[in-house]
């Protein structure tokens, strides 16, 4: 590599060598070639056009899709002493005039603009008289209608280039582009015999984790408890889900902000800056957030819902670990995610061909989730990169498990598809295999098939997972569309004829903990103070990887500091001494022998997540008697006094005074003033009589688990229904209303598309009520029960409304 390029890299960026692929790309650009570079997110795309820009005479224009990227990049350039500017809607007229004058006077080397700026005649008049050496198009996949983020404004770029007096070097960069997208980019940008670089899509530092079962909310709670000091993004599919997660995390004391298209531009900008400047650790967002975000210390990306395509998913997880440090990418999947994405496709795309293409990509994403092989291998194969081994850094590779022969179960599924004439989707297939008495199953006489009920040993969720795993491994074909239909193929026939075995790995899940590092936290605080003083994001000062290297090598002078990756002459001059002094103090205070330093730190102890309580049955009965006395006196039902679960918690924790009683779940000021003294006296008497030694523990923010029951109340109710228990008995047992349980049933069918329990609904309404409720539902829709209730006579109960909706819109299909 020419020494000049390397000198620039070290002087301005502080790195001693180039990353994979950068050297060849820069060399070709400097030699005057058009270039298309496909580089993974975090692979260092910006350096590939910035270093040539510093070497060329004249101006480099960078066309970028987001204002946030421009500001971050220009902040970083200016911090390194490089003349960079941006022009977009966030600056006023006087600021734009000042920048235009700088450009005219040759005081700008790199100018960032949005593609929409190319439609401004004033801008074109100014720029056409400049010496433009390079035009770099970032996020170039946006120009292709087959890309995952097509933007019509990008189609103006080629026309702009043709208007210039002298054609500059054209360079295009993106992180994810299939072969058809790459061909589109070359054609639509009119690249001149371009050098095409695919540096590899693999990001080895990212741990890919797909969770296909369990409670998403509980998983997120546990994960955030263990990683509350880390920076991360949580993606959700809808604005409503983003708002819900944000409120939940905020109420639990997390440093969190949010981003979606429903917020005003100013609020989005403020929230984004809070995240970039480390004023908020966690960003909860739709996929509207993230393109061009250059924050290198994002330690985790969680997808609360499955994305609609692999390109979008891989770009989004690529925002983690851009500094090369180990980071985690978690996808929390439920079958309802597929339906959400189908709805979004239907709402956002009108073009029939593009819509079908998006359904195809959604099926590929679903196949990825259910894949039994190495997740990294699956992704890299999708992008056409040969990866012939397992990564040992994804949940499929690392989870313990054994290879299990599933051929017979696969034959049962395939045989049932054949007998159903290849005309139905997975929901109906599950119903038939599990022996459901769903009305449609009976209507089509599928209960008369030999395969009816032959897989009752599977739960509906387990069977759906198994069918989707067969699909992802191409044992079942899918005809695309809003409602995909399952069919057989050549591979299916081989399995049915016992010519091919079906073997899958069955897993056991494990937990991870994060690292802790005292010096790292000290250096982060210094970095944050400097960033505030200089008005730049913390990572512009030094990245996390640079700080971590300092905690290992303890540099205490200029020579040692310049040997740290990411510390160049420019940055050392600005910030070096502050970090040196902090490291010297830390070394002295901790009596660290620098010749015998320890490079690895102990793992942090995982904080307690739950408060486990065991019911004292004898004390519970005494407390329950008191509850009945209060209920009788107030002429109400016992659960209105205090819930069973609160009584169980009292019986297992033994609150001895008002302050402790306040810490019981479900106890507010009114219950304390009305019933507190009596219940506490019962506890005190019992403790004294039985000589019980009390070791009171405050609950704090932990979730109380009573008698080992981790299920949410809706899960308990549904499981009792599946066991054949009567609806009214369940209401008495778990102390919720009939209306609430009918709501649980509705939500369950929305998510899983079927049900395997019997419930009689007609007894909750009469013909007149049914007609009135149906009429209102036809006018207002059936999603918001409270709105429907307001438009009905007051005598109609909530349970009648829910029963009619359930029967009419969910069970009669």
Q: How many structural domains are present in the chain?
A: 6
Structure tokens at 747: 């939500």
669 in the same domain as 577: no
pLDDT at 609: 52
Beta strands in 415-550 (DSSP E): 477-479, 485-487, 503-508
Q: Print burial letters for 87-103: b (CB count within 10 Å at least 16), e (below 16).
A: bbeebeeeebeebbeeb
- Mean pLDDT confidence for 254-281: 90
In this model, does residue 363 exceed pLDDT 90?
no
- The interaxial angle of helices 407-419 and 460-472, nearest 10 deg, is 90
376 in the same domain as 228: yes
- Mean pLDDT confidence for 511-521: 61
- The interaxial angle of helices 518-534 and 544-553, nearest 10 deg, is 130
Domain holding 761, by residue range, is: 713-810
Q: Is residue 482 very low, low, confident or very high in pLDDT (cuts 50, 70, 90)?
A: low
790 in the same domain as 773: yes
383 in the same domain as 407: no
In this model, does residue 726 exceed pLDDT 90?
no
252-256, 605-609, 787-791: least confidently modelled range: 605-609
pLDDT at 40: 75
Out of 232-236, 424-428, 517-521, 751-755, give the one with best mean pLDDT: 232-236
- Mean pLDDT confidence for 670-693: 90
CATH of residue 421: 1.10.10.10
Q: What percent of the chain stands above pLDDT 90?
A: 27
477 in the same domain as 366: no
In this model, does residue 225 exceed pLDDT 90?
no
Which pLDDT tens digit goes with each residue over 451-466? 999 998 888 878 887 8
760 in the same domain as 615: no
In a domain, 418, yes or no: yes
- DSSP-derived secondary structure letter, 243: H
Q: What percent of the chain stands above pLDDT 70?
A: 92
Domain edge (last residue) among 485, 508, 531: 508
- Mean pLDDT confidence for 195-219: 82
685 in the same domain as 576: no
In the block, residue with structure tokens 């070791």: 695
- Mean pLDDT confidence for 352-372: 82
In this model, does residue 334 exceed pLDDT 90?
no
CATH of residue 622: 1.10.150.80
pLDDT at 753: 59
Domain edge (last residue) among 546, 569, 595: 595
pLDDT at 514: 42
523 in the same domain as 499: no
In this model, does residue 592 exceed pLDDT 60?
yes
Q: Print burial letters for 325-337: b (CB count within 10 Å at least 16), e (below 16).
A: bebbbbbbbbbbb
Taking phi first (over 0 means left), then psi (-120 to 50 degrees means alpha), and beta for anything else, what does residue 499 get?
Answer: alpha
Which pLDDT tens digit goes with each residue over 524-562? 889 988 988 888 788 888 888 788 888 888 898 888 888
Mean pLDDT of the chain: 84
3-state secondary structure 547-583: HHHHHHHCCCCHHHHHCCCCCCHHHHHHHHHHHHHHH
Instruction: Characterize the bridge pairing of strands 206-211 and 231-235.
Output: unpaired
Residue 196 pairs with which residues in a beta bridge?
Answer: 36
pLDDT at 146: 67
Q: Is residue 710 very low, low, confident or very high in pLDDT (cuts 50, 70, 90)?
A: low
In a domain, 601, yes or no: no
55 in the same domain as 22: yes
CATH of residue 305: 3.40.50.300
Out of 23-32, 660-669, 777-786, give the one with best mean pLDDT: 23-32
pLDDT at 446: 92
In a domain, 534, yes or no: yes
Q: Is residue 813 very low, low, confident or very high in pLDDT (cuts 50, 70, 90)?
A: very low
- Mean pLDDT confidence for 757-780: 87
Which pLDDT tens digit goes with each residue over 317-326? 988 988 878 8
In a domain, 769, yes or no: yes
159 in the same domain as 46: yes
- DSSP-derived secondary structure letter, 393: -
pLDDT at 512: 37
Q: Is residue 513 very low, low, confident or very high in pLDDT (cuts 50, 70, 90)?
A: very low
Domain edge (last residue) among 706, 728, 749: 706
In this model, does residue 292 exceed pLDDT 70?
no
Instruction: Characterize the bridge pairing of strands 35-38 and 169-174.
Output: parallel
In a domain, 604, yes or no: no
pLDDT at 598: 38
420 in the same domain as 348: no
Which pLDDT tens digit goes with each residue over 596-626? 443 333 333 223 456 778 899 999 999 999 9
311 in the same domain as 210: yes
pTM over 0.75, yes/no:
no
In a domain, 570, yes or no: yes
In this model, does residue 266 exceed pLDDT 60?
yes
Q: Is residue 26 very low, low, confident or very high in pLDDT (cuts 50, 70, 90)?
A: very high
pLDDT at 785: 86
In a domain, 513, yes or no: no
In a domain, 605, yes or no: no
């Amino acid at each position: 590599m020419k020494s000049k390029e390397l000198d620039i890299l070290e002087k301005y960026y502080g790195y001693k060598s180039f990353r994979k692929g950068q050297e060849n790309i820069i060399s070709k650009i400097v030699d005057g070639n058009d270039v298309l570079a496909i580089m993974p997110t975090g692979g260092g795309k910006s350096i590939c056009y910035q270093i040539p820009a510093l070497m060329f005479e004249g101006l480099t224009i960078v066309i970028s899709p987001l204002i946030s990227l421009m500001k971050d990049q220009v902040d970083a350039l200016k911090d390194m002493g490089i003349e960079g500017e941006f022009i977009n809607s966030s600056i006023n007229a006087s600021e734009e005039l000042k920048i235009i004058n700088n450009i005219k006077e040759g005081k700008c080397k790199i100018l960032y603009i949005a593609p929409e700026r190319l439609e401004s005649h004033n801008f074109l008049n100014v720029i056409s008289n400049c010496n433009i050496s390079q035009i770099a198009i970032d996020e170039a996949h946006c120009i292709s209608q087959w890309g995952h983020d097509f933007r019509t404004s990008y189609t103006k770029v080629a026309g702009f280039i043709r208007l210039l007096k002298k054609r500059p070097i054209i360079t295009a960069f993106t992180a994810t582009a299939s072969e058809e997208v790459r061909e589109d980019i070359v054609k639509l940008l009119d690249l001149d015999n371009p050098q095409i670089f695919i540096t590899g899509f693999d990001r080895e530092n990212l741990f890919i984790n797909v969770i296909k079962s369990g409670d998403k909310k509980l998983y997120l709670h546990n994960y955030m408890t263990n990683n509350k000091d880390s920076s991360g993004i949580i993606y959700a599919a809808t604005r409503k889900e983003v708002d819900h997660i944000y409120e939940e995390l905020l109420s639990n004391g997390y440093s969190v902000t949010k981003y979606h298209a429903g917020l005003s531009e100013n609020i989005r900008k403020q929230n984004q800056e809070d995240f970039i400047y480390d004023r908020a650790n966690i960003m909860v967002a739709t996929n509207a957030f993230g393109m061009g975000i250059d924050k290198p210390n994002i330690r985790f990306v969680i997808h609360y819902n499955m994305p609609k395509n692999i390109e979008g998913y891989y770009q989004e997880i690529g925002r983690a670990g851009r500094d090369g440090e180990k980071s985690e990418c978690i996808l929390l999947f439920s079958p309802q995610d597929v339906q959400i994405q189908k709805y979004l496709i239907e709402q956002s795309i009108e073009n029939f061909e593009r819509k079908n293409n998006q359904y195809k990509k959604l099926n590929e994403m679903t196949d990825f989730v259910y894949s039994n092989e190495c997740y990294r291998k699956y992704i890299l194969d999708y992008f056409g990169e040969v990866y012939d081994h397992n990564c040992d850094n994804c949940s499929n590779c690392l989870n313990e498990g054994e290879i299990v022969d599933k051929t017979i179960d696969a034959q049962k599924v395939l045989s049932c598809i054949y007998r159903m004439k290849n005309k139905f989707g997975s929901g109906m297939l599950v119903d038939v295999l599990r022996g459901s008495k769903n009305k449609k199953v009976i209507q089509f006489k599928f209960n008369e098939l030999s395969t009816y009920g032959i897989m009752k040993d599977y739960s509906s969720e387990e069977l759906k997972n198994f069918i989707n795993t067969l699909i992802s491994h191409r044992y079942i074909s899918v005809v695309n569309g809003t409602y995909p239909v399952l069919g057989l193929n050549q591979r299916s026939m081989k399995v049915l004829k016992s010519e091919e075995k079906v073997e899958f790995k069955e897993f056991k899940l494990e937990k991870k903990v994060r690292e802790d590092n005292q010096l790292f936290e000290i250096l982060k605080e210094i970095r944050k103070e400097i960033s505030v003083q200089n008005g730049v994001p913390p990572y512009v000062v030094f990245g996390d990887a640079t700080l971590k290297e300092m905690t290992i090598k303890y540099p205490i002078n200029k020579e040692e500091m310049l040997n740290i990756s990411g510390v160049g002459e420019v940055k050392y001059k600005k910030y070096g001494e502050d970090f040196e002094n902090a490291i010297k103090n830390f070394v002295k205070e901790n009596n660290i022998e620098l010749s015998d330093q320890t490079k690895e730190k102990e793992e942090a102890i995982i904080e307690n997540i739950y408060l486990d309580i065991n019911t004292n049955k004898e004390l519970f009965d005494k407390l329950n008697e008191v509850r009945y006395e209060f209920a009788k006196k107030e002429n109400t039902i016992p659960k209105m006094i205090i819930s069973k679960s609160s009584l169980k918690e009292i019986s297992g924790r033994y609150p001895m005074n008002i302050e402790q009683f306040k810490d019981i779940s479900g106890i507010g000021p009114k219950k304390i003033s009305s019933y507190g003294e009596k219940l506490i006296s019962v506890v005190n008497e019992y403790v004294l009589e039985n000589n019980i030694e009390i070791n009171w523990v405050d609950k704090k923010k932990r979730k109380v688990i009573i008698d080992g029951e981790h299920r949410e109340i809706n899960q308990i109710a549904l499981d009792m229904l599946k066991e054949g228990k009567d609806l009214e008995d369940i209401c008495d047992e778990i102390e919720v209303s009939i209306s609430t349980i009918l709501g649980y049933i509705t939500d369950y069918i929305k998510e899983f598309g079927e049900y395997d329990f019997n419930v009689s609904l007609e007894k909750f309404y009469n013909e007149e009520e049914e007609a009135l409720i149906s009429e209102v539902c036809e006018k207002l829709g059936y999603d918001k029960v409270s709105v429907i209730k307001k438009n009905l006579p007051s005598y109609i109960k909530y349970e009648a409304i829910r029963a009619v909706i359930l029967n009419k819109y969910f069970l009669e299909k």
